[in-house]
């Protein structure tokens, strides 16, 4: 009886090993088919003014901040114009 169980366990281990090998081969094929970018620019990380890590350069961060400020000023001006028309 023990021999049958040992054989069953060996068979299950072999099946698991083959499945692992197939999964690994599939992941390898996927990586080969869809290579990621290995440019230095894509690997760079920057720290913003609050100490958070971001993928945007300080120049891009400054431009976005300026755009947000301009939008806020325009919105305030538009609200003031609407209030003055009343």
Q: Does 48 lie in the same domain as 7?
A: no
Q: Does 28 lie in the same domain as 8?
A: yes
Q: Does 25 lie in the same domain as 45?
A: no
The pLDDT of residue 1: 52
Q: Does 82 lie in the same domain as 48?
A: yes
The pLDDT of residue 83: 87
Dist CA 61 CA 65 (whole Å):
6
Query: Do residues 43 and 53 touch, judged by C-beta distance below 8 A?
Result: no
The pLDDT profile of the chain, 86 residues, written as one tens digit per residue, is: 556 677 888 999 999 999 999 999 999 999 999 887 778 877 889 998 889 999 899 999 999 999 999 999 999 999 998 888 87
Q: Does 29 lie in the same domain as 51?
A: no
Q: Does 43 lie in the same domain as 8?
A: no
Q: Does 42 lie in the same domain as 79?
A: yes
The pLDDT of residue 18: 98
Q: Does 19 lie in the same domain as 48?
A: no
Residue-number span of the structural domain to which 28 is assigned = 1-36
Q: Does 72 lie in the same domain as 46?
A: yes
The pLDDT of residue 52: 92
């Amino acid at each position: 009886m023990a021999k049958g169980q040992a054989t069953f366990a060996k068979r299950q281990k072999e099946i698991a090993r083959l499945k692992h090998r197939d999964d690994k081969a599939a992941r390898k094929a996927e990586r080969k088919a869809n290579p990621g970018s290995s440019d230095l620019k894509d690997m760079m990380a920057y720290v913003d003014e609050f100490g958070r890590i971001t993928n945007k350069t300080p120049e891009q961060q400054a431009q976005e901040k300026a755009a947000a400020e301009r939008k806020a000023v325009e919105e305030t001006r538009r609200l003031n114009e609407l209030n003055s028309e009343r």
